[in-house]
Amino acid sequence: MRSLLVQVLAFCLTPWLSPMAHADVGNMFGFGSRVAGLAGATVSGAFDAFATYVNPAGLPHSAGENRLAFSWGILGMNPEFTPIQSIVTTNDYTLDTVRTGDADLDYRATLGQVFGLSYRLEGEHRVTFGVAGFLPLNHLAFVDTGDGFAPEYFLYRARTQRPQVEMGVGVDLGRGLSAGAGLHTGFGMTTHASVLLEPGSSNTSPSSMRFSASIKPKASPTIGVLYAREGGFSSGLVARLPLESRHEMTLNAAANIITPLDFKFSGASALAYDPAAIEWGFSIPMTENSTFFFQGDYQFWRNFEAPVIVLTDITGEGMVISPSSNPSFDYRNILTAKAGSEIHLGGTIVRLGYAYRPGILKDPVTEAGNYIDPSKHVLQAGLGFRFMRFLHLPTDWRLDLHLAYHRFVNAHVTKTPGNEVGDPAEPKIGSPGYDIGGKILGGGVSLSLAL
């Protein structure tokens, strides 16, 4: 019986591997090496063809005096978390007995290409359209809901492993003021499945299954404004609405093994969640050849929905199956501070950036569940090289490179006595406790030109 249910559930989880989900590489790592080299403090300036994501109000400035801007690059980021070893991995509440072992911290590296394109129409208001996106190189998409009970860095398992597309338009309103609007896209998915398992001894009836899915696009708006004086002070403001990609599934299963077994259930999962955010920043020339950037991002994570699967409405013939009872966590809104500096040395540009991002968990997880999201320091550095000709074209273009170092703040988690329902005879998953921390190392390169 247990083996049958495991096989059926494995089939049910297949739809969660849909490529039609969204990511937020821009929020996590930055779009393009110029943005990344300044730690993402670019809502007020340093615009290129990635302005569609950074601040759509910057699109009229993305190509300078030209009309077409194009940016393309490669991004690679590899997480290395502190090992979590010799902890309780199962107990009677989650499986059937107490076992100890190591947590699964084999997280995939983010490797992909970023692209951006903007085009300005003729006219007084410099109306400019743009698109930007991210496409993984090592797979088309990867989705993993993780485990709600085992130690899990839940924002780093699969959030940057899927394609991302942004669209926007910006308008120059005159006197240094511009405005823009964009769409952050995603998808919702509804699945219906049925499966019939027949024994394979003397029975001639075949096993069968049927699967149908409906994918609907979703989008959340982004609104930006920018005030930029020529060669002077600039300030930008961006408001982003939340976007959640969900998967709703209904399964009907039947098996003629020993005795007929029929049951059905519904499942739901938040494949991805990007919070509402307000981002404000400014840039100011420090010397003739250097500019300082600062930005604060207030992100509304309090309503975050974790990607863990929830099974409900389970009914069976002659058997009782428990619905999911996943741990609940308290999340908080956070304020991220970013600062960067860009120094021009002839045709070479040096960039330095720093950001501090608090974790979104309100309190340490000492009770049921082991979600992990420590605060982190982000150090970025980059170089840019400007050239006057691209192949045989007399046009400016720029090659940017950056290195990134994300350092998680070390902490220790101590689990309280008893299991997840308070039984003192068994320890909780994650007991007796463990250290959290680690780093993400990587970098990238991007090319930008204007025509």
Q: What is the DSSP letter of 148?
A: S
Q: 183: pLDDT confidence band, cut at 50, 70 and 90?
A: very high
pLDDT above 50 (res 258): yes
Phi, psi of 361 (to 5 degrees): -80, 130
* pLDDT tens for each residue of 81-96: 999 999 999 988 888 7
Cα–Cα distance measured from residue 120 to residue 49, given in angstroms and rounded to the nearest whole number: 11
Q: For 2-387+405-450, give the CATH class.
A: mainly beta
Q: Which residue has the higher pLDDT, 190 or 436?
A: 436
In this structure, the dihedral spanned by the alpha carbons of residues 411, 417, 422 and 423, taken in order and rounded to 10 degrees, is 140
* pLDDT of 432 above 50: yes
- How many residues in the chain? 451
Label residue 196 exposed, middle or buried (CB < 10 Å: 0-12, 13-18, 19+): middle
Q: Does the pLDDT of residue 4 top 80, yes or no? A: no
Question: How many CB atoms within 10 Å of residue 360?
Answer: 21
Confidence of residue 313 (pLDDT cuts 50, 70, 90): low
Neighbouring residues of 181: CB distance < 8 A, sequence distance ≥ 6: 56, 168, 169, 221, 222, 223, 224
Domain ranges of the chain: 2-387+405-450
| 129-135: average pLDDT | 95
Residue-wise pLDDT tens digits, 110-131: 999 999 999 999 888 889 999 9
pLDDT tens for each residue of 348-382: 999 999 999 999 999 889 998 899 999 999 999 99
**Residue 255 · residue 292 · CB < 8 Å:** no
Q: Which amino acid is at 420?
A: E
